[in-house]
């Protein structure tokens, strides 16, 4: 009875049209999945909906509204206290408020300025259109002095030098619905364009802008990289095969595989996000490997005079188990991420794993039948394949390795130990602004903001008094005040905002503006009365419910710090959380930025779990398929070598492991083992009828060319990520390219050197 391999190959060769029909049906049946495709580039996408940190943030939104802001900096080096600048501030505030999705705008033009009047207070804007039109130079000077004297405006609505006005546009809370980040950001860009002039510069920041840019850059990278790769791969494929069919045939594998993979995204309810958006680029690179193995073996026989059917049958039989096994191990490398608690990582691993398996299916059931139906013509032109499949060259390489096997293994061991120790020094750290190049407008804006107000990154603290109207308790507010004073005394924290500031300001102005009364009243009644006075004097849309809950149990304290890296931020969060307990306060640290930084422990967890999972599964698969514990374990030596070398050298780049590079180890293990599998599969096939020397020389002649070209494709494919604007993608691609290059050298040097130490079952040489 024919085995499975021969049955499948016989079916493809005997019924090519039926095989094609099955492949087309698979692709067509997948198309409805595209209807389910959705995008999500927000901070929420990184957490499971039931994750405690996300539940805390959901409660924050329910209590205080969104912490999503569009922040605009308006800078005039001559100062903004002139009629033209003040007019723009007024108009831009109104325009921002009219953008759909914006629920509130805070700026100098609508700042709630409190002033005393008899035994009451008056709340009014710092200036209005009437003031601007009538203001004299002296009036403008007084306005500047008055504004700079306000504690709340300093480094929040105005820089200390009076040259930069700041607008904070708060977005409507999501409450499970999609936030229109694209529309809001594009509207803001149009407004900036509208008001820009030679004397005034504008910069956009805030979580809203950052979210939109994550999407913008991610999609831009895909739009640039996919056509670039198709172009580069077309040139390489023509260089290898010197025929148009050699270009077209591999794409009959790649294109339908990408279609089915992306439809899987929709069927499984996954989202297109910062990570999954690169899936087509990854699959385009990886899926070509099987096609190249089939085509290379086919054209080697075809160019030697065999007819199409014989050459194709030889190629399909020869490569069946190696390509199936390598597809499985590569898929396992990606599937190892499915256990990650970070949904985008799990989703990327799942869909690319699916895509790799389906690519193998299309290689055999779609591309192979097309070769038969197309009836390729023989060409006399010299092929690079014939040059690489050179017997003399194969013997020279084999002889060199045989003579120097001891030196090769010893040198590899020394490199392994030294760089292995270095790789342990790598750390996990993320900085949202270091995910873009310094020339990106986001980083230009970030550098400007840091130079003008020292910090703009907000972190939200929710302080629970433990009872309704607990905010009115002087003892509670005294603790909050002491805690706030401690916070701003820290070098990392530049400003705090809370209801406490309002209460103290109202108290001062109810006492004739005397600075000695800029303090918390010491009775519940006085605090409640002052909050009522203030609330009643506010214009429409300026409620303080974004600063305390309706039942006055929880208070929102926003801090601004100058930290950006996860390592620093997590340390500071731990410090301020611990210190809050010392003051007797119950706090929760939340907000978009903490959500981003608190991913770091999950990245560490994902790194170890995915790598250990991939390592164990791939080792098990190799031992079973190669039917040899010795060969199965031997395969891992040259494949752990490039990972350790890559990890060691990565330390010297000065970069830290982030959301992109966390993928590298498991993915590289899954991909780099492919060459070893092809090498060892051939070695195992002939180990009983050839000497080790002849066996290895034959592998270099017949199998090495395909290994070289598939690795070249992978190196160029992942190396093209250097053109990505999103730096984690660039680091991910470049690291994989480097490691796969080292892996090829290891498979061509270390692996055969190790094989020469095995017992030679044929001592004829």
**pLDDT at residue 571 in the model:** 95
Instruction: Provide the residue ranges of all domains of the chain, joining segments of one domain with +.
Output: 4-36+212-430+599-755, 50-55+444-593, 69-205
* Homologous superfamily of domain range 4-36+212-430+599-755: Multidrug efflux transporter AcrB transmembrane domain (1.20.1640.10)
CA gap 601, 582 in Å, rounded = 26
DSSP string, 519-552: S--SSHHHHHHHHHHHHHHSPTT--STTTB-TTS
| Whether residue 765 has pLDDT greater than 50 | no
Structure tokens at 423: 């790789």
* Residue 478 burial by Cβ neighbours in a 10 Å radius (0-12, 13-18, 19+): middle
Picking from 705, 19, 707, 712, the residue whose alpha carbon sits closest to that of residue 371 is 19
Specify the higher pLDDT residue, 87 or 301.
87
CA gap 208, 212 in Å, rounded = 6
Most confident of 5-19, 239-253, 651-665: 5-19
Backbone angles phi, psi at 515, to 5 degrees: -60, -25
* pLDDT, mean over the chain: 89
Helix (H) or strand (E) segment spanning residue 333: helix 308-335
Geometric angle at alpha carbon 134, from 132 and 140, rounded to 5°: 55
Q: What CA–CA distances, in Å, run from 739 to 449, 641, 642, 647? A: 38, 9, 5, 9
CB under 8 Å to 474, separation ≥6 — which residues? 520, 521, 522, 523, 524, 527
CA gap 503, 519 in Å, rounded = 8
Helix (H, G, I), strand (E, B) or coil at 756: coil
Q: Where are the beta strands (DSSP E) in 66-140?
A: 69-76, 102-106, 113-117, 120-124
Specify the higher pLDDT residue, 324 or 177.
324
For the chain, how many residues are written? 765
CA gap 263, 269 in Å, rounded = 10
Q: Dihedral sign, CA of 88, 90, 93, 97?
A: negative
CB under 8 Å to 612, separation ≥6 — which residues? none
* Residue 329 burial by Cβ neighbours in a 10 Å radius (0-12, 13-18, 19+): buried
Percentage of the residues of the chain whose pLDDT score is greater than 70: 97
Flag whether the pTM goes above 0.85.
yes
Q: What CA–CA distances, in Å, run from 758 to 406, 444, 626, 753? A: 13, 59, 15, 10
pLDDT band with cut points at 50, 70 and 90 for residue 623:
confident
Contact assessment for residue 645 and residue 421, using Cβ atoms and an 8 Å cutoff: no
pLDDT band with cut points at 50, 70 and 90 for residue 1:
very low
Specify the higher pLDDT residue, 573 or 172.
573
Helix (H, G, I), strand (E, B) or coil at 709: helix
């Amino acid at each position: 009875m024919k085995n499975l391999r021969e049955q499948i190959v016989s079916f493809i060769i005997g019924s090519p049209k039926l095989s094609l029909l099955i492949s087309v049906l698979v692709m067509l049946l997948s198309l409805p999945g595209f209807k389910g495709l959705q995008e999500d580039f927000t901070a929420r996408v990184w957490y499971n909906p039931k994750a405690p940190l996300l539940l805390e943030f959901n409660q924050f939104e329910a209590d205080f509204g969104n912490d999503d802001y569009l922040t605009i900096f308006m800078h005039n080096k001559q100062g903004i206290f002139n009629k033209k600048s003040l007019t723009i501030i007024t108009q831009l505030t109104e325009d921002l408020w009219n953008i759909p999705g914006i629920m509130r705008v805070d700026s100098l033009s609508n700042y709630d300025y409190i002033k005393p009047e008899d035994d009451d207070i008056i709340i009014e804007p710092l200036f209005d259109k009437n003031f601007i039109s009538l203001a004299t130079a002296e009036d403008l000077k007084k306005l500047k002095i008055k504004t700079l004297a306000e504690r709340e405006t300093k480094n929040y609505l105005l820089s200390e030098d009076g040259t930069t006005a700041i607008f904070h546009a708060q977005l409507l809370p999501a409450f499970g619905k999609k936030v229109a980040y694209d529309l809001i950001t594009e509207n803001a860009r149009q407004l900036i364009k509208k008001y820009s002039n030679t004397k005034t510069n504008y910069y956009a920041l805030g979580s809203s802008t950052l979210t939109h840019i994550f999407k913008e850059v991610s999609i831009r990278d895909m739009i640039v990289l996919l056509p670039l790769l198709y172009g580069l791969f077309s040139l390489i494929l023509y260089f290898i095969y010197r025929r148009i069919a050699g270009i077209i045939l591999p794409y009959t594998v790649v294109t339908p595989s990408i279609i089915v993979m992306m439809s899987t995204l929709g069927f499984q309810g996954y989202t297109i996000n910062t990570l999954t958006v690169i899936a087509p680029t990854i699959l385009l690179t990886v899926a070509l490997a099987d096609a190249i193995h089939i085509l290379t073996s086919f054209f080697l026989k075809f160019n030697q005079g065999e007819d199409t059917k014989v050459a194709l049958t030889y190629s399909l039989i020869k490569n069946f188990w190696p390509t199936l096994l390598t597809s499985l191990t590569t898929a396992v490398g990606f599937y190892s991420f499915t256990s990650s608690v970070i949904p985008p990582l799990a989703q990327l691993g799942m869909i690319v794993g699916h895509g790799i398996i389906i690519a193998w299916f299309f290689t055999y059931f779609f591309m192979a039948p097309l070769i038969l139906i197309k009836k390729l013509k023989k060409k006399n032109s010299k092929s690079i394949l014939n040059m690489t499949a050179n017997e003399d060259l194969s013997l020279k390489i084999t002889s060199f390795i045989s003579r120097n096997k001891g030196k090769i293994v010893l040198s590899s061991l020394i490199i392994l130990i030294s760089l292995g120790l270095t790789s342990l020094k790598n750390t996990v750290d993320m900085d949202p602004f270091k995910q873009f190049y310094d020339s990106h407008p986001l980083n230009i804006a970030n550098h400007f903001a840091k130079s003008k107000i020292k910090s703009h990154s907000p972190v939200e603290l929710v302080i629970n008094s433990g009872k309704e109207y607990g905010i009115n308790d002087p003892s509670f507010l005294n603790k909050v005040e002491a805690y706030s004073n401690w916070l701003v005394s820290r070098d990392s924290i530049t400003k705090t905002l809370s209801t406490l500031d309002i209460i103290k300001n109202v108290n001062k102005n109810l006492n004739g503006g005397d600075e000695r009364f800029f303090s918390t009243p010491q009775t519940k009644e006085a605090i409640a009365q002052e909050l009522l006075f203030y609330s009643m004097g506010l214009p429409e849309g300026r409620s303080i419910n974004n600063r305390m809950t309706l039942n006055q149990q929880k208070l929102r304290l926003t801090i601004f710090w100058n930290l950006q890296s996860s390592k620093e931020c997590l340390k500071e969060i731990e410090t301020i959380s611990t210190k809050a307990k010392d003051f007797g306060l119950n706090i929760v640290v939340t907000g978009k930025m903490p959500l981003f930084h608190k991913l770091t422990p999950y990245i560490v967890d994902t790194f170890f779990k995915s790598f250990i999972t991939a390592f164990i599964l791939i080792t098990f698969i190799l031992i079973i398929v190669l039917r040899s514990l010795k060969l199965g374990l031997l395969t891992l030596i040259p494949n752990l070598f490039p990972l350790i070398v890559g990890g060691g050298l990565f330390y010297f780049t000065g970069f830290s492991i982030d959301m992109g590079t966390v993928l590298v180890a498991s993915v590289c293990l899954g991909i780099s083992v492919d060459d070893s599998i092809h090498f060892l599969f051939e070695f195992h096939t002939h180990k009983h009828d050839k000497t080790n020397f002849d066996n290895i020389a034959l592998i270099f002649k017949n199998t090495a060319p395909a290994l070289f070209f598939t690795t070249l494709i992978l190196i160029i494919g992942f190396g093209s990520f250097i053109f990505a604007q999103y730096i984690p993608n660039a680091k991910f691609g470049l690291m994989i390219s480097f490691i796969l290059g080292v892996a090829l050298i290891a498979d061509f040097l270390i692996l055969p050197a190790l094989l020469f130490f095995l017992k030679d079952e044929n001592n004829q040489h």
